[in-house]
């Protein structure tokens, strides 16, 4: 194994290319007596269930049984934290919520049976937006808060204090559908020894096991959950895989037959949680040279009907409202709104992206009002080495941020292109270009400290072949490819001697979700630990001889030296106390920056992403090809969120964009025409496995450079304006009109009109001029 092998093949390359790599639903053929499940969907966003009569469904041919609240032997509730998600609700909390399930020999029969269930509802008033929730005092959490320094200069009574620039505003930020290619899926059956076995497309098999056990009233050792791999998850299967697994398991328990639950695309989009929509309200004070002096930021998220992960998502927002900037005086609050919608959940970035969009908006508006280039305002506010965040963590590696910034400006020819764009814009009346550079600083670790652990079990066989088990799940991010390289390098064997085993709760118990970008950090370190134990044992057996690995294993066996070992890792030195708002929640920060250039057409609002340059600190990459894929894919997923993907709910609370025909995903044509991705060289990260850094989530937030480039291009039509997110062509079209109008009128930033979709957007008012 040499570092060159780090460019080796993807662990499932052959399987993916030939189609032999199996996903949960590929297993249906192995269960000849399989039952299919279809839900009975409530046609109200909020209602009481007066009565439910399933008898007609049972008369339908091939229908075997139904599942209702009388069936579960245990607590039928899939709420991960608060137990606030009844599987068979008496009060409907979002449009389409399943109130019962039908099991049948075919999917069609289950579907027909569900249509014949008679349910009577008493409709209740529904809360369908953040604004409604605030007005109705409808919240899922208390106010969460982080603060430092004195923000009293922002008080209304202090408006005439010597602050050079004062801005107040509001920003609406839309949510995002995960659109993993593989929809939610689980298959459950009773195993040979009286337990329940579940194949689930889940990021968190241990929690899926917990929810299944809870539903059936069983101890956890009676339940086994296995995940072969996922066809994408992006946070959408961090907790939201659990309910489907519980329904499948309950069906198997009741019928003694295997049961499959697989959501169709439309069901998945209508029933599962999304990235949280946010509302940000802010007041900020700046010095004349663009330094932020005080910030007050109030964040509201649309959590949907149940708590889910909304509270830690909001915490991560509070931790990331600084992005890469030193905020000397700041008070940031966050509150999760309860609405009658799908329960919003983890999505790549986990609340970080919304907060970072807000601070970048604030800095960009300040730059426009001060007549300074936005990149200058950004870099003037950067953390310096030794600075502390607003929650008391020292920002180690701040100099890497500076290094990335200046290197990227050079390699992307930022200054030369800015001048060229100015020329271009001078010569074109109806088409304008914009260029922007934005940074990312993203904290790595679960903010709930106890989740930061990993486990492994490595088995050597006498022929020198190796099986690796660990607690992480593969969702396309390349975790298994990286962990295989760690095992091969630590043991000193070729990659093809190492087989990665599927993730099973009976191999590694009590694991955290594969999330927070920490999959390799936690599980890779645990595997390295197990391999180091085995290597030490084998070294002793070798007694200084240089034996082939297989011979060494055989010799160790004959000497009665154990050829298997467990490994364990816990992230050192992290802690956070939410009551004081102080601690060191993150093991380290990932740094990156992106430069994007766009071109906007005045007549249509359509735009093109001409070029993006990215420089990211991935540490010593364990698998550079994987990391490149993560950076490119994460960036494009972020571009989708901030530009073309627009989630809409209608006035009945229905997801109006519940298929790919109404929900515009980024595709090949949204990839930048020129796309340069580089890694910071010589960037080994101390105290992380192989000196590598996490890469899964941070690149998503580099897409903010595209939003900011659009802002520059729009401003080139006249004056600076604000616009809510996503910046769809429609919104850009109207923003250009306001930019033109603004240039003709006063100096102040125009107020955004209501958009065609009916949402009121940003107001920047009361801007305290010098
Ligand atoms: N990449 C692919 N291809 N598919 C995914 O579902 N999920 C992302 C990221 N990259 C995802 C992905 C999210 S949300 C996270 S937290 C990380 O991968 C999780 O994996 P890791 O911790 O091993 O990086
Ligand atoms: N999940 C979680 C996460 O439970 N806590 C986190 O801090 C987190 N961060 C990112 C993604 N998932
Ligand atoms: Mo990722 S949102 O941490 O699953």
- Ligand 2 neighbour 382 (Cβ under 6 A): no
Q: Whose CA is nearest to atom 9 of ligand 1?
A: 696
Here the tokens at position 570 are 């816990």
The dotted CATH code for 453-570 is 3.30.365.10
Q: Which CATH architecture group holds 18-125+179-271?
A: 2-Layer Sandwich (3.30)
What are the residue ranges of CATH 3.30.365.10 in the chain? 18-125+179-271, 144-177+274-446+584-764, 453-570
CA 349 / ligand 3 centre spacing (Å): 7
Active site residue 697: yes
Query: For each successive 10 residues of the chain (770 residues), what is the average pLDDT?
Result: 68 93 97 97 98 98 98 97 97 98 98 98 98 98 98 75 83 98 98 95 98 98 98 98 98 98 98 98 96 98 98 98 98 98 98 99 97 98 97 96 98 98 98 98 97 98 98 98 97 97 98 98 98 98 97 98 98 96 98 98 98 98 96 98 98 96 95 98 95 98 99 97 98 98 61 37 33
Write down the pLDDT at residue 162.
Answer: 56
CA 296 / ligand 2 centre spacing (Å): 25
Run of H or E including 364: helix 352-370
CA 477 / ligand 1 centre spacing (Å): 5
Which of 204, 316, 349, 354 best tests ligand 2's pocket when mutated (most atoms within 8 Å of CB)? Answer: 316
Instruction: Please report which ligand is nearest the Cα atom of 236.
Output: 3
Pocket, ligand 3, Cβ cutoff 6 A: 203, 235, 238, 346-348, 350, 515-516, 697
CA 313 / ligand 2 centre spacing (Å): 7
Write down the pLDDT at residue 159.
Answer: 55
- Ligand 2 neighbour 447 (Cβ under 6 A): yes
Write down the pLDDT at residue 22.
Answer: 97
Write down the pLDDT at residue 5.
Answer: 65
Q: Which CATH architecture group holds 144-177+274-446+584-764?
A: 2-Layer Sandwich (3.30)
Write down the pLDDT at residue 412.
Answer: 98
Q: Whose CA is nearest to atom 13 of ligand 1?
A: 234
Write down the pLDDT at residue 158.
Answer: 57
DSSP for 285-340, written as a single string: EE-TTS-EEEEEEEEEEE--SS-TTHHHHHHHHHHHTTTTB--SSEEEEEEEEP-S
Instruction: Please report which ligand is nearest the Cα atom of 696.
Output: 1
- Ligand 2 neighbour 512 (Cβ under 6 A): no
Write down the pLDDT at residue 770.
Answer: 28
Three-state SS at 166: strand
- Ligand 1 neighbour 515 (Cβ under 6 A): yes
CA 198 to chain centre: 25
Instruction: Please report which ligand is nearest the Cα atom of 442.
Output: 2
CA quadruple 482, 487, 489, 490: dihedral sign: positive
**Which positions ≥6 away from 361 have C-beta within 8 Å?**
169, 171, 280, 722
Instruction: Please report which ligand is nearest the Cα atom of 314.
Output: 2
Q: Whose CA is nearest to atom 4 of ligand 3?
A: 235
The catalytic position among 697, 708, 712, 752 is 697
Write down the pLDDT at residue 743.
Answer: 75
**Which positions ≥6 away from 48 have C-beta within 8 Å?**
90, 91, 92, 121, 122, 124
- The predicted model scores a pTM of 0.96
DSSP letter (8 states) at residue 77: B
- Phi, psi for 351 (deg, rounded to 5): 90, -25
Rounded to 5°, angle at Cα 38 from 33 and 43: 170
- Ligand 1 neighbour 629 (Cβ under 6 A): no
């Amino acid at each position: 194994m040499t570092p060159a092998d780090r460019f080796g093949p993807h662990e499932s390359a052959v399987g993916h290319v030939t189609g032999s790599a199996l996903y949960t639903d590929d297993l249906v053929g192995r269960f000849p007596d399989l039952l299919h499940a279809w839900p009975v969907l409530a046609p109200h966003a909020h209602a009481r269930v007066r009565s439910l009569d399933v008898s007609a469904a049972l008369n339908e041919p091939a229908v075997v049984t139904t599942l209702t609240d009388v069936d579960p032997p245990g607590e039928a509730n899939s709420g991960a934290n608060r137990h606030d998600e009844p599987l068979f609700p008496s009060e409907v909390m979002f449009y389409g919520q399943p109130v019962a399930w039908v099991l049948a020999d075919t999917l069609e029969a289950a579907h027909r049976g569900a249509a014949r269930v008679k349910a009577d509802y008493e409709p209740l008033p529904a809360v369908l937006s953040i604004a409604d929730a605030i007005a109705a005092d409808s919240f899922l959490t208390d106010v969460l808060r982080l603060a430092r320094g004195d923000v009293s200069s922002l008080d209304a009574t202090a408006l005439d204090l010597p602050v050079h620039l004062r801005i107040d505003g509001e920003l609406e930020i839309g949510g995002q559908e995960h659109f993993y290619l593989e929809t939610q899926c689980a298959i459950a059956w009773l195993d040979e020894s009286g337990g329940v076995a579940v194949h689930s497309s889940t990021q968190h098999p241990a929690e899926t096991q917990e929810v299944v056990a809870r539903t059936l009233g069983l101890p956890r050792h009676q339940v086994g959950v296995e995940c072969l791999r996922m066809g994408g998850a992006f946070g959408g299967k961090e907790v939201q895989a659990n309910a489907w697994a519980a329904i499948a398991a309950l069906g198997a328990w009741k019928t003694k037959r295997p049961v499959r639950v697989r959501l169709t695309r439309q069901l998945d989009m209508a029933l599962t949680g999304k990235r949280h929509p946010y509302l940000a309200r802010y007041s900020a004070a700046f010095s004349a040279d663009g330094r932020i002096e005080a910030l007050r930021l109030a964040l509201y998220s649309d959590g949907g009907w149940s708590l889910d992960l909304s509270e830690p998502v909001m915490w991560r927002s509070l931790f990331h409202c600084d992005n890469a900037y030193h905020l000397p005086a700041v008070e940031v609050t966050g509150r999760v709104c309860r609405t009658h919608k799908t329960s919003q959940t983890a999505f790549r970035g986990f609340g970080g992206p919304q907060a970072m969009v807000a601070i970048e908006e604030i800095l960009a508006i300040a730059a426009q009002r001060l007549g300074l280039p936005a990149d200058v305002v950004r870099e003037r506010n950067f953390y310096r080495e030794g600075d502390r965040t607003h929650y008391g963590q020292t920002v180690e590696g701040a100099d890497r941020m500076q290094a990335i910034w200046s290197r990227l400006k050079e390699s992307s020819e930022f200054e030369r292109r800015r001048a060229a764009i100015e020329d271009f814009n001078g010569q074109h009346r109806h088409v304008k270009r914009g260029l922007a550079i934005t940074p990312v600083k993203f904290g790595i670790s679960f903010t709930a400290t106890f989740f930061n652990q990993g486990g492994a079990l490595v088995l050597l066989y006498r022929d020198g072949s190796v099986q690796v088990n660990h607690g992480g799940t593969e969702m396309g991010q390349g975790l298994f490819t990286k962990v295989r390289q760690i095992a091969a390098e630590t043991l000193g064997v070729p990659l093809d001697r190492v087989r990665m085993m599927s993730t099973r709760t009976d191999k590694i118990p009590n694991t955290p979700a594969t999330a927070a970008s920490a999959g390799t950090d936690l599980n890779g370190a645990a595997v390295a630990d197990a391999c180091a134990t085995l290597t030490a044992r084998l070294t002793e057996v070798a007694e200084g001889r240089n034996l082939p690995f297989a011979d060494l294993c055989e010799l160790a066996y004959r000497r009665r030296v154990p050829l298997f070992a467990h490994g364990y890792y816990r992230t050192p030195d992290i802690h956070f106390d939410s009551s004081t708002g102080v601690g060191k929640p993150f093991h380290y920060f990932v740094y990156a920056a992106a430069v994007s250039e766009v071109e906007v057409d005045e007549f249509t609002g359509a735009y093109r992403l001409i070029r993006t340059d990215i420089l990211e600190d991935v540490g010593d990459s364990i698998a550079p090809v994987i990391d490149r894929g993560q950076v490119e894919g994460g960036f494009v997923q972020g571009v989708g969120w901030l530009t073309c993907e627009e989630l809409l709910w209608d006035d009945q609370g229905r997801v109006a964009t519940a298929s790919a025909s109404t929900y515009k995903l980024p595709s090949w044509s949204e990839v930048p025409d020129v796309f340069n991705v580089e890694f910071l060289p010589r960037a080994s990260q101390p105290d992380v496995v192989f000196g590598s850094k996490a890469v899964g989530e941070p690149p998503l937030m580099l897409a903010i450079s595209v939003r900011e480039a659009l802002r520059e291009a729009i401003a080139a039509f006249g004056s600076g304006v604000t616009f809510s997110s996503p910046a769809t062509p429609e919104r850009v079209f109207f923003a250009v009109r306001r930019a033109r109008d603004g240039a003709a009128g006063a100096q102040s930033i125009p107020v955004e009109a209501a958009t065609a979709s009916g949402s009121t957007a940003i107001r920047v008012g009361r801007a305290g001029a010098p």
